[in-house]
Structure 1
Amino acid sequence: MTTASTYIVDVRRLEEFSALDLYAMLKMRVDVFVVEQTCPYPELDGNDPDCLHLRLMDGDDLLACARLWRPTQDHLPRIGRVAVSPNHRGKRLGDALMREAITECEKAYPGEAIEISAQAHLQKFYGSLGFERTSEEYLEDGIPHVDMIRPLR
């Protein structure tokens, strides 16, 4: 764990979580993606064991989380499941979360660009972090998305 200005950055593999910490992270993802965005989809998709999980914490309070995929034959390193707790919005945590996720991807997979599947309405936000749109808009689980890549810097 590393400490930033107002939060602790925690990056670990799924099996390293306590049952309560894992529950809190998965609950927040379901609350944001399934309930808040009214998007019934398989949140528990079988991919979490293969990813690193980044959390921003304030003590025991989960502020935000993201899932970091390793590169595969078909994909660059990817950042996904980017979620900020509804109780902590408006504090620029989305920006902090993405900056930490980018840093972690660059440490884990140096010399690689990073890709995301972004909700289309967030293109400007991700663009401010260096991501460039690489696809036409498409529906993913009923929500408009675009593919974006952050080229090597």
Structure 2
Amino acid sequence: MTEITIKETAALTPAELLTIMAARVRVFVVEQNCPYQEVDDKDYQAVHVMLRENGALVAYGRLVPHDDGKAISFGRVLVVRSARGRGLARELVATLLSELATRYPSRPVKIQAQAYLQAFYGLFGFRAVSDVYLEDGIPHVDMVLDKTAAAR
């Protein structure tokens, strides 16, 4: 059974913070061979969504203000290698969207998605609003949540 934990950065224990950062670096820097500043200033104001099984982190994402200052966003969405292929990414994104709807019901939702995940995020009502561009050498696309499509 998956346990869901949602905490603001200040409420994380040191062990939780280290576990999150280790998983993010493992996935986004090491596995994707993409050296970049993985821990950033957005982490100070992030809300961290963790899925655990038997106490171990299996999936993670963070909620953060969008760069435009009006929308809200989520990112750093990951499933640890040993837990992939079991639908945890869908569970995680559904949890992120539910938390966004609770905390920020009237704010638009914008994300930067890796381009190959457009169809996946489309399942939740997101649509691309930019051409594909490189972010840290990886193809990305800007997407917005169509809340009317997501409600269907």
1:66 matched to 2:61: yes
C-alpha distance in 2 between matches for 1:16 and 1:148: 30
Percent identity between the two aligned chains? 37
Q: How does 1:3-22 map to 2 (within 5 A)?
A: 6-22=1-17
Larger fraction in helix: 2
How far off is 1:73 after superposition? 5.0
Structure 2 gap ranges (5+): none
Question: Would you identify which runs of 4 or more consecutive aligned residues in structure 1 move more than 3 Å?
Answer: 70-75
- 1:39 maps to which of 6, 9, 34: 34
C-alpha distance in 1 between matches for 2:70 and 2:62: 15
Counterpart of 2:97 in structure 1: which amino acid?
Answer: I
- 2:135 maps to which of 124, 130, 140: 140
1:76 matched to 2:71: yes
Counterpart of 1:131 in structure 2: which amino acid?
Answer: F
C-alpha distance in 2 between matches for 1:99 and 1:36: 24
Contact 1:52–1:68 (CA<8 Å) still a contact in 2?
yes
Question: Structure 1 residues 108, 71: closer, same or farther in 2, change over 3 A?
Answer: farther
How far off is 1:145 after superposition? 0.2
TM-score (norm 2): 0.92
C-alpha distance in 2 between matches for 1:44 and 1:72: 16
How far off is 1:47 after superposition? 1.4
Contact 1:64–1:97 (CA<8 Å) still a contact in 2?
yes
Tell me the matched-pair count. 148
Aligned CA-pair RMSD: 1.3
C-alpha distance in 2 between matches for 1:152 and 1:125: 16
SS of 1:135 mapped into structure 2: coil
1:96 matched to 2:91: yes
C-alpha distance in 2 between matches for 1:70 and 1:12: 15
SS of 1:47 mapped into structure 2: helix
C-alpha distance in 2 between matches for 1:73 and 1:113: 11
1:51 matched to 2:46: yes
After superposition, what is the alpha-carbon deviation per residue over 1:25-82, rounded to whole angstroms, capped at 9, x for unaligned? 1100000000000000001112101110100111320011101013565341101110
TM-score (norm 1): 0.92
Structure 1 gap ranges (5+): 1-5
1:125 matched to 2:131: no
